[in-house]
Structure formats: structure tokens, C-alpha cells
Amino acid sequence: MTLRHLAVVAAATIALTSSSRCAEVDLPSSAEPSWQVAMHSSYTAANTAKFDGVKSAEESDAYAFELSIGRKIKLSSSWSLLVDLGSQNIYLDSIPAARVPDEIHTLRITTGVEFKVSEKWTITGLFSPSLYRFEDVNSGDVGFSGGLMMAYRYRPTLSWSLGVFVSPNSSLSPVLPVGGLDWKINRKFELQLMFPKPRLLYQITSSWSVFAGGDLTGATFRTKDDFGTKIGFPKYNDALADYRDIRVGAGTGFQINRGIRLEVEGGYSVDRELNYIDIDKKVKFDPSPYIAASLKVFF
């Protein structure tokens, strides 16, 4: 399993139940992964928020910035140690009537051990503690998730991965199956059915590609101690919540050199919501356009 495959599948749990996605750095197949850094920024345009099915008179947009740094440390021909540290920061237009906060800040570290069974099979175990906020931190602001996954390289152009992740604070399920398929159809086309970021890519030149697909991003976080008091609903103080944004779009990527890749994309946010887990209340945002850019570096 490459570090890119690990990062994409681990991101499935992190996006839904923890704090941020791992670095999804596309390394040349002949390169040995070392330090990998990913920066991702996106803007989802403002639109109406609904709380308990009632539309707010105000609108809320979302600006997100994510940063992660990771490394795969080779211990032997069969064993490797995996480490990835990531931070996610989301800025919203606060809507008190719809219980929408003004900002979300989380931190996550993912550690793991990879065992290469053979040239075709790899097994990986992951553990990911997360910090749900940066202010007034206590034991309730730390969450944990972990899982086990395996990858099979059927041939150089086709590989798949399958695993299961456990996260007690997930708003969807405490146990989440994940997996994916990476198929290089020919020299031009590649299909990446990797949750949470499936894509179809077309290689225009050796360094320039275009793509279309979907993307899921989000964070599990805890509101501030006085968030509910300030908006007139005290039970939302210290509330545990999931923020989720499902998007579809298209974009282009350029390999600036062997170690730097830049991508820009745009499309539509089709399912954006805020779920207060313990209170069992949801905020739904109407669909709206988004733009995003990312810079990926490995060295």
C-alpha cells in the first residue's frame, strides 16, 4: 500500500468522525515516501441555513483551511511506521437562530504500523486521537478513532483496499467500513474510487491533468463553553457536533516539479450540514457553489 492509499482511506474516518483529512500526496511510483506536506483551502458560498426545517433569514458561507504533515518511516523490508499530523480550521457566518457557530478548530494525529505481507498484500493498523477544540480543553475534548485495513495490488495498474474503522463519537456509526479501487485504465485515464474522494482523471501531458469527481470534508468538534449562552440556548454550551460538506466538481492539477503539485477546482456543495450529536439537532444548508485549491509537497 502506498502512503497515498493509506491517507485517502484513513481520511474517510477522519472526515466523518475526527478532525481533518490526511495529506493526499501523489508520489511517483518509483519514489520512496518521506516527508509529505499538504495545504488545502476552500470557500463555499453563502446560502440559507435550516434548523428543524425552518429557514433562517440569514445566510452562512464557509472558508476552510487544512494543513497536514506526515511521514512514512521504513523500519525494515516488511515493517513501516506511519505518522501524520493535521489541523483543520473552518470559518462560518454565525447564525444564532440556526445554532451556527462562527468558527471550528481541530487537531488530529494519526499513527500507524504497516506490514508488507508480500509484493501484493499489505496490512495496516491505524490509531488517531483528535482534539475537538483549542480553548478551555478538558478530557471531553479528546476523541479517538482507529482501524485495520488491507490492500491488494492485483497488477501495477489495478489495486484495491478494504478496512474497518471504529469511532465512538461518530454521528453516522461507531463502526465504519471503508475501501476503494485505483485503476489506471490506460496511459490517459485513471479511475480512483477512493472514499471520500472518488475521481476520474485524464492526463493531458506528463505534468498536467484534469479531473472530475466528488469530495467529502468535515470535522467533529465541540462548541465553546459559552456558545449556547451567547446565542440564547445554553444547552449548546460544550456541544459535540459534526460538520460535513459533500461536494461534486471538476478541476485541474499541475505537477510543478518532482516534489510539488498544485490543484484548483470548483463545483457545487450538494449536502452541507451541522449535526449536534448529543442534542440530536441538525442544521441543513442549501446547495451552493464552491472553489478550492491545494498545494502538495514531498521531500
Name the more confident of 68 and 178.
68
Confidence class for position 12, pLDDT limits 50, 70, 90: very low
User: Residue 17: its pLDDT value, please?
Assistant: 37
Q: 50 and 199 in contact (C-beta within 8 Å)?
A: no
pLDDT average, residue stretch 133-154: 92
Mean pLDDT of 43-48: 96
User: What is the average pLDDT across 198-223?
Assistant: 95
Looking at residue 100, the DSSP 8-state letter turns out to be: B
Residue among 225, 54, 64, 45 nearest 134 (CA): 225
Mean pLDDT in residue range 266-291: 96
Containing domain of residue 67, as a range? 3-298
Q: Which grid coordinates belong to 269? A: 456543495
Answer yes or no: are the C-beta atoms of 230 and 213 closer than 8 Å.
no
What residue has cell string 478496512?
163
Q: What is the pLDDT of residue 194?
A: 85
Grade residue 207 by pLDDT with cuts at 50, 70 and 90: very high
Query: Which pLDDT score, from 0 to 100, does residue 6 have?
Result: 43
- pLDDT for res 32: 57
Distance, CA of 83 to CA of 85 (rounded, Å)? 7
- Looking at residue 179, its pLDDT comes to 85
Nearest to 221 by CA among 119, 123, 87: 87
Across 61-76, average pLDDT: 95
User: Residue 25: which of 50, 2, 43 has the closest Cα?
Assistant: 2
pLDDT computed for residue 30 by the predictor: 42
In terms of phi and psi (left: phi > 0; alpha: psi -120 to 50; beta: otherwise), the region of 99 is left
* Whole-number Å distance between alpha carbons of 284 and 158: 38
Cα–Cα dist 185/181, whole Å: 12
> Residue 163: how many CA atoms within 13 Å on its side-chain side?
30
What's residue 168's pLDDT? 85
Domains of the chain: total:
1
Question: Out of 20-24, 39-43, 225-229, which region has the weakest mean confidence (pLDDT)?
Answer: 20-24
**295: CB partners within 8 A, 6+ apart:** 38, 39, 260, 261, 262
| CATH assignment at residue 145 | 2.40.160.40
- Please compute the mean of the pLDDT values over residues 186-211 and round it to a whole number: 94
For the stretch 97-119, pLDDT in tens is: 999 999 999 999 999 999 999 99
Q: What pLDDT score was predicted for residue 23? A: 35
Mean pLDDT throughout 45-53?
A: 93
- Summarize the confidence of residues 217-238 as an average pLDDT: 94
Of the pLDDT bands very low, low, confident and very high (cuts 50, 70, 90), residue 195 is confident
Average pLDDT, the chain: 88
